[in-house]
Structure 1
């Protein structure tokens, strides 16, 4: 009898809770409305409008028409776009628990479901600390000489006056640097196998996700399986040697949670591939824009050369390697890097998904809708950056207003490798401006997206040693 009463009581309480919650939702829907905007055609929404023009113009026109919060329907998903620093902070920092990271399943499968940026909560925080630890300032200090050698070698391979695809060459460089940070000095046969299969996965990442034989995506799936096998061999070898390396692989292998649990080999592999993806295209895109902006602004290029040649002379005309302390004392070059990150805004926006109905500034963000903080719109807003389409590194002589400069995202999902990426940019800029000259070929102002913005055709250019005629 008592048992029956307990079940009845549970049922009644559950019913009351459901009615109260439903009433609360009705009250919320009565009190607030959806943001302004157009949802476009059924299902396809405004996807065609977005992809048939410059996405920056698409979002800027929307903001001009509707304000800093507006709705749309893109890639089969209803979305709310946010173009103010306060709104971005609301989603990414102060109320981050209400918005989960979201990625297409096709991309998640290629990288690996255990990669840290697909997660929230304790697992995400654990992995984030491990990645940050492997890329701490102390760890980066020990990588300067090796990154510098890789930069010098990459640039030397470009010389001769033949036209190169700057972006593709910088992708090769950033991949090598990523391998260095993850594995240290990896054996050449492992490196070549990783490189060969990673390129196939990279090519399939943004392809149409069909598993039909012969398709780019199917080839990427097969290459991803091979990557797992290669990484498993590397992990097994490292375990057998019982090395206590401080590279990322070492940090992942030696980690235990509060229950003493270690990461599985699959978890380690997913996070290694995730870091490679996060490190390669974004850094290579940023570096390509630095090459272009310096080419387009001769006076700024001369100022960077003057700063870097002083360091070059201190190092005996290159007979001594660049040092960590020198990379921390490049004030003008650092402003060039920051302004390049603002102007290019490689991460133009990020995707989140509302896990509950959320009210923001009198508008409803329904549960399940995608939410997109628009970083580029913030970076190009004249209210925060005067004459925003003009490349002007002097604007960073004063710190930007809070939350207006977020090239690496913000909150718990801010890029853990941001200092690592900036170090790469400083090092290659040092070598580029002290030893080389270059000329951009063809159109210099058009942009292509794949998905990150890069100059048209990857910025075709010719490079020569500085002293050559």
Structure 2
């Protein structure tokens, strides 16, 4: 009996040891990149989510780049992952969408964004949804929206100037959310019995957190926030269907028209997930970018002065002084667009872009196995001194001789390839118009906060509290310290 127990125990030990060895030393039909798989199942997830209070490349990535090179393997949230900080591989990943790679996100992301969300769909369905989104965020729609964006920014700035201080991240998020929700679903927070924005606040707080679905954790609150928001959106959809409008006034009407077509490939589940993602993506990343821009402008008076001069010139050269921004004036904001690019380059709001290999892929002597996840790491490119001189310096003028229009091997703040962010133009319109209204009529000073932390997503843990005052005609110095 004793000998049988010993044999069973020995077999179990050998099985566990074999499993641990296979975990630490995965194999493929070729040469895997170097790296560590970390602890079984957990991998290196805890280190990946460790806080980083700097603008620099996350220590998790930076340390492994020094140790293993520009391409390395790891394991995150239970999945083997190839991390790419190689500009050539990143470019190939974006360009070979649907051929060698396809969009993929960890199960924890899919849970919070929905299994039918636009980021998880491929091929014709993705292109179909992309064209739907361009109906709202395309250039022609933005031209018509320009004056409304300016009016919203001006109205909110005037309101904030009457307060002792305003927490800028939250304030701009509310501003952009209300505008976007109006365009998408005609949502009016003053008339609604439920606060849709509150559900998104809970969602955001746990979005990029350790994926532990236990009551009390940030991730659990995130899932609950999504559930509540989706219930509200579904109720709105059903109410709109029960009381259809004769004239289309928002994106919801357009979606309903598509759903009612006999030959449509759109489903209610896909439509609701699309609305959810659009609401989130349109305000959260833009409000973060605006908060970063305002902080950096305050810390760099010369940049603020050059930006102010550009916008003062727009007002000075305007024939009708009472008219709002014209599309031609918006397109003339050369330095503003340089500043936006520099802000998103330094902010790296999206710390990683995930794809999945569709087949074994050979690259620079390494093999990326079929089925493995691949994480493109934008910070490693945007903060590489070989690509940008003094990369941690805020210097919008560096973009004078650089491509500003889209993605490149060295700039991927808005993604790349066929999944280049369709909301990029909408983001730039909102940022440029807000900055125009801000620097031409207001000055501000930091009251408290302004520190950043990455976990790995960018956050302002103590907010950015600023005091705004309206400029008078006798005192137009944008660098005044008040």
Task: Name the TM-score class by shorter chain.
Answer: 0.7 to 0.9
The match for 1:201 among 200, 203, 208 is: 203
- Find the residue that maps to 1:351 and give its secondary structure: strand
Say if 1:254 and 1:262, in contact at 8 Å, map to a contact too. no
Tell me which residue corresponds to 2:50: 52
Q: Secondary structure at the match of 1:189?
A: coil
Q: Is the 8 A contact 2:88 2:409 kept in 1?
A: yes
Which deviates more, 334-343 or 262-271?
A: 262-271
Residue of structure 2 equivalent to 1:327: 330
CA-to-aligned-CA distance 1:195-224 (integer Å, 9 cap, x gap)? 233333334544665666676655655554
**CA distance in 1: counterparts of 2:194 and 2:436, whole angstroms:** 28
TM-score computed with the length of structure 1 as normaliser: 0.84
Equivalence for 1:20: none
Q: Decide which of 256, 264, 278 is 2:267's aligned counterpart.
A: 264
Residue 275 in structure 1 maps to residue 267 in structure 2: no
Contact 2:51 2:455 in 1 (8 A): no
Per-residue deviation, residues 300-354 of structure 1 (Å, max 9, x unmatched): 1011111112223456897432222221111111111111111112112211222
Structure (1 or 2) with the greater helix fraction: 1
SS of equivalent to 1:40: coil
Match of 1:127 among 109, 129, 149: 129
* Offset of residue 417 of structure 1: 0.5
- How many residue pairs get aligned? The number is 440
Q: Which residue matches 1:465? A: 470
- Cα shift readout 1:75-112 (whole Å, capped 9, x = no counterpart): 33221111122111211212543323223434433333
**Cα distance in 2 for residues equivalent to 1:95 and 1:56:** 26
User: Any conservation in 2 of the 1:90–1:96 contact (CA below 8 Å)?
Assistant: no
Q: Secondary structure at the match of 1:457?
A: coil
Corresponding position of 1:151? 153
Aligned partner of 1:33 in structure 2 is: 31
- Which runs of 5 or more residues in structure 1 are unaligned? 1-27
**Given that residues 83 and 373 in structure 1 are in contact (C-alpha distance below 8 angstroms), is that contact kept between their aligned partners in structure 2?**
yes
Name the CA distance, whole Å, in 2 between partners of 1:309 and 1:192. Answer: 41
Structure 1 residues 297 and 230, CA, compared in 2 at 3 Å: closer, same or farther?
A: same
Could you tell me which residue of structure 1 aligns to residue 418 of structure 2?
412
CA distance in 2, matches of 1:451, 1:384: 22
Whether 1:367 aligns to 2:370 is: yes
> Could you say what secondary structure the match of 1:320 adopts?
coil
Tell me the residue number matched to 1:69: 71
Deviations 1:3-44 (CA, angstroms, capped at 9, x unpaired)? xxxxxxxxxxxxxxxxxxxxxxxxx946x3111223333333
C-alpha distance in 1 between matches for 2:224 and 2:44:
33
1:5 counterpart residue number: none
RMSD: 3.0
TM-score, scaled relative to structure 2:
0.82
1:176 — aligned with what?
A: 178
Provide the C-alpha distance between the structure 2 equivalents of 1:61 and 1:453, rounded to a whole number of angstroms: 19
Q: Does 147-156 or 211-220 show the bigger shift?
A: 211-220
Task: Please report how far the alpha carbon of residue 427 of structure 1 lies from its aligned counterpart in structure 2 after TM superposition.
Answer: 0.7
